[in-house]
């Protein structure tokens, strides 16, 4: 949610800022801007995509070897030029970019206005620029001190970069709650970004700034990291584990399509070294120290948002099925407000692709404060979630850039499946022979996903038939229910068709009123003991002239008479069926969105990682 980039070195800053912003565009694309320090402070900004900013820079070039940039996901104030970052104050000497939210901005703004400060935007960020300027002027302190004092007045979350034409030899960076990584290049060059993807082409030596730390990054010499109390900190230099290749589309029209097709590999990678089908064993290094806790847990609570919440719901079923531990999937954004009853015998598992989702991180903080053991399932190595949890497992799905999450979901589900099997076997709720059977089956999932991907042609023609629909329903029972929710989310977020996911049994309690001629109903109806009930639900839809598209198990003809289209997928254990049944729904959403001319990788109003609450 908003991406920031900075460069300090000997070369022109602008190309580095623009390339970095393009890599960060998935975090928001409402507007973009740069501020560059050369013989003066140049500011250029434009609403919309980075290409608009690039065009502007062609006509109005900037020059200088220190610069900051920003790509915005609007929170305070509509997407417009005046609300685009960088923000300046009245003298025009200070420029600030910010990712996060200043919660007390209204009070700060009122106070600054009462002292004659005139605001040019509706953003929360602008108060920071005015505060820095005000403190510099009234207290005659250098930029570093002014930033420290300004942030001392701020309540909220931020990753901030500030420059001043009075001190044209440095960038001051500070962080609380929002991510920031600083890359150490050659010849004392420094690259600063919200995400390693923006700087990996220049360096792999990085420092992750911690909360309540500041970095003073000079044009010549080494950067200095300090705490907000002005004490020197000694950050660890880490290696950025990211391949540049992973950041390219590799011939696919969109990142989302590439990521859908990567799933045989990403699921394989999520299981690599963790299962041994020959021996029938499963082990996850990151939870070894917490196995006793999990085994004896009174409850397991999953906290997450969006697609990761759907994975949590699958986790809920998996843990209850295999480990017989009461489990619950909670929306992170609600969990924190319900004053949850939690104790040291509970294990909270936070699930997040990015590891930066603000609601999930707040839920983690709350769970820790109540004494629960908190584990994470996360894709981004080194993310805040991975640092804030007691332990956990990476999903190893590889970089996910498409805003609509796909391969992250299947990798999360496979990690959850492995965890549930491991704990079930330790608890003895799963026999050795059954465990072996399940592990052998889990090992076949990547090739079965590849077989589902072969159905893309059929799914494309179904998309062709229904892409003009205004509403769609997704139904499923048991493991099919979270997949129905995920199918509906995928369709609505990238094609803007109104879509709802329901447990199939709930149909008759209300949603059936929506069914009329031609309304497409997508049924996740793979083989299990509830299939007859599912058939009855679909009958009810057909009786009301709805159109039924059912995802079924190969060779299972029971839904033939009640479906307009059957998408057959390979047979698997019911518990692993989400790993296969979600694929046709991802492809369907993708092709519908393409047919509707929507921007698949950058759907309107969304951003890849939601770092505001």
Residues making contact with ligand M6R (CB under 6 A) = 305-308, 352-354, 357, 360, 403-405, 489, 493, 606, 609-610
Toward ligand M6R, which CB reaches closer, 182 or 403? 403
Which pair of structure tokens corresponds to residue 5? 């980039």
Of residues 282, 331, 278, the one with CA closest to residue 303: 331
Closer CB to ligand M6R, 308 or 537, in the complex:
308
Shortest separation between residue 393's beta carbon and ligand M6R, angstroms: 14
CA distances from 55 to 3, 32, 33, 323, 612 (A): 20, 12, 12, 57, 30
Instruction: Answer yes or no: 608 catalytic.
Output: yes
How many C-alpha atoms does 141 have within 13 Å on its Cβ side?
Answer: 15
238 and 207 Cβ atoms separated by less than 8 Å: yes
Q: Is the distance from CB of 302 to CB of 427 less than 8 angstroms?
A: no
Of 84 and 378, the one with the shorter C-beta distance to ligand M6R is: 378
Could you give the angle at which helices 407-427 and 263-271 cross, rounded to 10 degrees?
30
Return the closest-CA partner of residue 322 out of 183, 426, 429: 429
Tokens of 609: 């990682």
Q: Could you tell me the smallest distance in angstroms from the CB atom of residue 471 to ligand M6R?
A: 20
Structure tokens at 266: 């990403």
In the complex with ligand M6R, the residue whose CB is nearer, 354 or 373, is 354
Q: Which C-beta is closer to ligand M6R: that of 136 or that of 354?
A: 354
Tokens found for residue 12? 């022109």
CB of 446 to ligand M6R, least distance (A): 22
Please identify which residue in the block is written with the tokens 């509509």: 78
Minimum distance of ligand M6R from residue 494's CB (angstroms): 8
Can you tell me the distance from the alpha carbon of 18 to that of 8, in angstroms, rounded to the nearest whole number?
A: 14
Q: What are 502's two structure tokens?
A: 């329901």
d(CA 589, CA 520): 13
Least Å from the CB of residue 608 to ligand M6R? 7
State the Cα–Cα distance between residues 42 and 47, nearest whole angstrom. 17
Closest approach, Cβ 488 to ligand M6R, in A, equals: 11
Nearest CA among 485, 547, 537 for reference residue 515: 547
Question: Which residue among the candidates 45, 93, 170, 608 is catalytic per the annotation?
Answer: 608
What is the DSSP pairing of strand 547-553 with strand 520-524?
parallel
Beta carbon nearer to ligand M6R, 202 or 309: 309
Strand positions, DSSP E, 478-556: 498-503, 520-524, 547-553
611 CB-near residues (< 8 Å, 6+ apart): 1, 2, 99, 100, 157, 177, 178, 179, 356, 357, 358
- In the bound state, the residue with its beta carbon closest to ligand M6R is 306
Instruction: Give whichever of 353 and 436 is closer to ligand M6R, judged by the CB atom.
Output: 353
The minimum distance between CB 309 and ligand M6R, in angstroms, equals: 7
Pairing mode, if any, of strands 94-102 and 156-164? Answer: antiparallel
- CB 142 to ligand M6R: min, Å: 38
Residue 240 CB, shortest distance to ligand M6R, in Å, is 19
Query: Phi/psi of residue 171, each to 5°?
Result: -115, 140
Task: Report the nearest approach of ligand M6R to the CB of residue 232 (Å).
Answer: 33
Residue among 301 and 404 whose Cβ is closer to ligand M6R: 404
2, 45, 117, 170: which is the annotated catalytic residue? 2
Coil, strand or helix at 206: strand
Distance, in Å, from the CA atom of 263 to the CA atom of 579, rounded to the nearest integer, reads 9
Q: Which is nearer to ligand M6R, 380 or 559 (CB)?
A: 380
Q: Checking DSSP bridges between strand 327-331 and strand 346-352, what pairing results, if any?
A: unpaired
CA 212, CA 187: separation in Å to the nearest integer?
A: 28
Nearer to ligand M6R, 333 or 526 (CB): 333
Per-residue DSSP letter, 210:
P
CA dist., res. 177 & res. 361, Å (int) = 9
* Residues identified as active-site: 2, 608
């Amino acid at each position: 949610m908003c991406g920031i980039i900075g460069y300090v070195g000997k070369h022109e800053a602008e190309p580095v800022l623009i390339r970095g912003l393009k890599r960060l565009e998935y975090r928001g694309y409402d507007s973009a801007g740069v501020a560059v320090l050369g013989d003066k402070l140049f500011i250029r900004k434009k609403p919309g995509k980075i290409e608009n900013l690039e065009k502007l820079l062609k006509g109005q070039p900037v020059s200088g070897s220190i610069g900051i940039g920003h790509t915005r996901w609007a929170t305070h104030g509509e997407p417009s030029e005046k609300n685009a970052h960088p923000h300046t104050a009245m003298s025009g000497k200070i420029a600030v970019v910010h990712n996060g939210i200043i919660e007390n901005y209204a009070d700060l703004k009122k106070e600054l206005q009462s002292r004659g400060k005139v605001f040019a935007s509706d953003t929360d960020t602008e108060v920071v620029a005015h505060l820095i300027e005000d403190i510099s002027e009234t207290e005659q302190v250098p930029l570093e001190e002014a930033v420290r004092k300004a942030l001392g007045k701020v309540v909220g979350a931020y990753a901030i970069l500030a420059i001043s034409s009075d001190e044209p030899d440095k960038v001051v960076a500070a962080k609380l709650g929002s991510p920031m990584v600083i890359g150490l290049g050659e010849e004392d060059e420094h690259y600063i970004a919200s995400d390693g993807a923006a700087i990996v082409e220049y360096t792999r030596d990085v420092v992750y700034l911690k909360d309540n730390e500041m970095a003073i990054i000079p044009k010549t010499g080494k950067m200095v990291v300090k705490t907000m109390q002005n004490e020197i900190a000694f950050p660890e230099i880490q290696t950025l584990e990211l391949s540049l290749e992973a950041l390219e589309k590799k011939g696919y029209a969109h990142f989302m399509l590439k990521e859908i097709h990567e799933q045989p590999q990403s699921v394989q990678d999520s299981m690599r070294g963790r299962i041994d089908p020959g021996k029938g064993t499963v082990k996850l290094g990151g939870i070894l120290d917490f196995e006793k806790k999990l085994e004896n847990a009174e409850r397991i609570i999953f906290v997450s948002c969006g697609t990761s919440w759907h994975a949590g719901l699958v986790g809920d079923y998996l843990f209850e099925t295999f480990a017989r531990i009461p489990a619950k999937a909670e929306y992170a954004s609600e969990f924190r407000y319900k004053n949850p009853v939690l104790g040291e015998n509970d294990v909270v598992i936070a699930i997040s692709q990015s590891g930066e989702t603000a609601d999930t991180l707040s839920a983690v903080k709350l769970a820790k404060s109540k004494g629960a053991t908190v584990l994470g399932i996360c894709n981004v190595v080194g993310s805040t979630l991975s640092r804030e949890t007691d332990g956990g497992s990476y999903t190893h799905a590889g970089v996910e850039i498409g805003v609509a999450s796909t391969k992250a979901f299947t990798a999360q589900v496979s990690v959850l499946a492995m965890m549930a099997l491991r704990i079930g076997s330790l608890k003895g709720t799963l026999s050795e022979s059954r465990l072996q059977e399940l592990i052998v089956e889990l090992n076949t999932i990547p090739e079965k996903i590849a077989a589902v991907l072969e159905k893309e042609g059929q799914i494309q023609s179904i998309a062709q038939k229904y892409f003009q629909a205004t509403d769609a329903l997704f139904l499923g029972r048991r493991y099919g229910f979270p997949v129905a929710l995920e199918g509906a989310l995928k369709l609505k977020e990238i094609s803007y068709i109104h879509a709802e996911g329901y447990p199939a049994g709930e149909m008759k309690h209300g949603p059936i009123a929506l069914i009329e001629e031609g309304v497409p109903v997508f049924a996740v109806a793979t083989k299990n003991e509830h299939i007859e009930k599912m058939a009855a639900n679909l009958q009810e839809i057909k009786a009301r002239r709805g159109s039924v598209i059912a995802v079924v198990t190969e060779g299972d003809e029971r839904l033939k008479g009640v479906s307009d289209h059957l998408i057959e997928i390979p047979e698997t254990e019911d518990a692993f069926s989400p790993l296969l049944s979600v694929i046709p729904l991802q492809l369907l959403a993708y092709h519908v969105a393409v047919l509707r001319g929507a921007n698949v990788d950058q759907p309107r109003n969304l951003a890849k990682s939601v770092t505001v609450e």
